[in-house]
Amino acid sequence: MRDNGSIVQKAMRSNKEASRCLQTIAEAQAGFFTAKQAQSAGFSSSSHTYHVREGNWAREYRGIYRLRSSPAVLRPELARWHLWSMNRDGRPQGVYNYFTALDLYLMPETRPLDRHPDLHMTVPTSFRRSGATPEGLALHYADLPESDIAARTGYRLTTPLRTMLDLAAANAISREALSKALLQIAERGLITRGQIKSARIPEVSRLQLEALLEWKKR
């Protein structure tokens, strides 16, 4: 005959372990997690609605949740869409780039590119999603090497050097604005002349960046 008390204790212990596991996952993702990650932590799919209704979780998008107990973050949408870009293996594919990456490097002191409200995300050329791309998210397709990617809590973005190279190649902003942005990045020590000289980039790109650094001084 089963001991009901033991069954209850085991269930409580299991729930606590699942909660601890989910907390660990969410902490590394700015408080966000996916339905699949919740299941891997020990929460059955049938319990998700319950946790939303009880106020434990906040439903942020289809299959994406946030722990309400997690501290607020400045840009929650970055973690949200980073998880949206997950492939079937549960690995996020998106990397913020272009104006978005530059904005993140220059934040919070200055936001010179607020006229570009969309979030720019680079995904692999093989990236496919059955549903529509979330509103306000602009996708670019390229196979980025890991050396061009930097990590922050809850999302990834292109390195300062790759960000500036892509912005320069896109011809989306004036040379004056691009030069000003590059100087601000350099003043923060995020890009140095030595890095530009030693970077494995086409010579024309190297000369372009060096010219932008010199152009503002004229």
User: In the prediction, which pLDDT does 155 show?
Assistant: 96
pLDDT digits (tens, 9 = 90+) for 83-132: 999 998 989 999 999 999 998 998 744 444 445 568 999 999 999 988 88
Asked whether residue 8 carries a pLDDT value surpassing 60, the answer given is no
Helix segments in the chain, DSSP class H:
4-27, 35-41, 48-53, 76-84, 98-106, 160-170, 175-187, 193-198, 203-215
Decide if 167 contacts 99 (C-beta within 8 A). Answer: yes
Angstrom distance (rounded) from CA 28 to CA 30? 6
Strand partners, 33: 65
Least confident of 64-68, 84-88, 188-192: 188-192
User: DSSP string covering 69-124, please?
Assistant: TSPP-S-HHHHHHHHHTB-TTS-B--EE-HHHHHHHHHTTT--TTTT--SEEEEE-
Instruction: Please state whether the predicted TM-score (pTM) of the whole model is above 0.75.
Output: yes
Asked whether residue 56 carries a pLDDT value surpassing 90, the answer given is yes
More confident residue, 87 or 12: 87
More confident residue, 11 or 173: 173
Angstrom distance (rounded) from CA 112 to CA 205? 23
Angstrom distance (rounded) from CA 43 to CA 203? 53
Name the nearest CA neighbour of 163 among 96, 215, 111, 63. Answer: 96
